[in-house]
Amino acid sequence: MKNILLLAFLVLLVESINCRIATDESTDIIPDNGNTEEISDGKQFDGETQINNDNDFKGDETDTEPTKQDVGLKAEATQADGDKEVAEQSIQLKIGQGKKFTITLSPDSGSGVVYTRWGRTHCRSGAELVYAGYTGGSGFNQHGGGANLLCMPTSGVGHLSHQNPGHYSFMYGTEYESHNRIWRNHDWNVPCAVCYVPDKSTKMQLPGRITCPDSWTQEYRGYLMADHRGHPHNRVFECIDEAGEKIHGSNRNTNGALLYFVTPVCNRGMPCGPYNANIAITCSVCTR
């Protein structure tokens, strides 16, 4: 969007310059006797008239054969190598008086993207840690509350009122429920980290994959987890880091919000081919 607005501005700028040049050519007095004369803008020139353009362009300037006053726009996009995978635009502006300018627009680096790394207290290399905290959610046996998990900060907590709200929902800590050999985190509480990547503009949670598509960057990978199928409370599927950390001193089986591994139900809408009913579904969090 920024490049489009810049391109539109450049077109308007060039058109206004063309109009000014045309006006100057129609009003200037060209001397034919070699004497110094005044032209309409009050400047004096010896021998021949020179048109002074007050606008100074920066870029690669090349002389071409004189053409009629026009604006020629040419945009070319090339794919860059590496993780950035962004397009670079080169725009040629052809102006009257045989001038041609090439302007290269820097690739749009995006406005940045924020994601939560569930189960860890730090971000990958190259990502900025906004804050680390505790994973919070509604109780596993409650019918109300929120279906999503939240990364609750451990410092800087503020209050707008000290009055008891009277009617409310509850926020619990979140425990791993993992009676298996995948982890040894059973009944430990889940930490979280909120991460910021400045050179990305979008993110996705990719279920069933431990790699990201081409041109995407993997922030982390892990296991898809949610609440137990027999509990009354639904939980949004979240990607929990494969090397889930524990919150120190939290192994107390408090049973607040709970996270269980997810397995596919084969031949009931899910194909048996790529999925296995006895294997936990994996996931990746990807940015671009």
Instruction: Say yes or no to pLDDT of 161 above 80.
Output: yes
Helix H, strand E, coil C: the string for 68-88 is CCCCEEEEEEEECCCCCCCEE
d(CA 168, CA 25): 77
Is 150 in the same domain as 194?
Answer: yes
Residue range 108-117: mean pLDDT, rounded: 83
Percent of the chain with pLDDT over 70: 62
Query: How far is Cα 81 from Cα 267, in angstroms, rounded to an integer?
Result: 41
**CA distance linking residue 269 with residue 288, whole number of Å:** 30
Ranges 117-131, 171-185, 194-208, 262-276: which has the least confidence: 262-276
Residue 277 lies in a domain: yes
On whether residue 192 sits in a domain, the answer given is yes
In this predicted structure, what is the pLDDT of residue 193?
Answer: 98
Domain with 34 in it? 2-49+56-105
CA angle, 19 then 22 then 25, to 5°: 150
Residue 16's φ and ψ, nearest 5 degrees, are -65, -35
Give pLDDT, residue 207. 97
| 41-97 pLDDT, tens digit each | 444 434 444 434 444 434 444 444 444 444 444 444 444 344 444 444 556 666 556
Mark whether 101 and 118 lie in a shared domain. no
Indicate if 137 and 219 belong to the same structural domain.
yes
Same domain as 209, residue 150 = yes
How do residues 198-240 score in pLDDT, each as one tens digit?
A: 999 999 999 999 999 999 999 999 999 999 999 998 899 999 9
Residue 271 lies in a domain: yes
Phi-psi region of 8 (alpha: psi -120 to 50; beta: other; left: phi over 0): alpha
pLDDT bracket for residue 267 (50, 70, 90): confident
Please state, for a pLDDT cut of 90, what percent of the chain lies above it: 52
Same-domain pairing of 120 and 235: yes
Is there a single domain that holds both residue 150 and residue 80? no
Spatial separation of the C-alpha atoms in residues 116 and 285, rounded to whole Å: 9
Q: How far apart are CA 70 and CA 15, in angstroms?
A: 8
Q: What is the CA radius of gyration of the chain?
A: 32
210 and 67 both lie in a single domain:
no
Q: Judge whether 163 lies within some domain.
A: no
**How confident is the prediction for the chain on average, in pLDDT?**
77
Q: Is the pLDDT score of 130 beyond 60?
A: yes
Coil, helix or strand for 28?
coil
In 121-265, where does DSSP find H-type helix? none
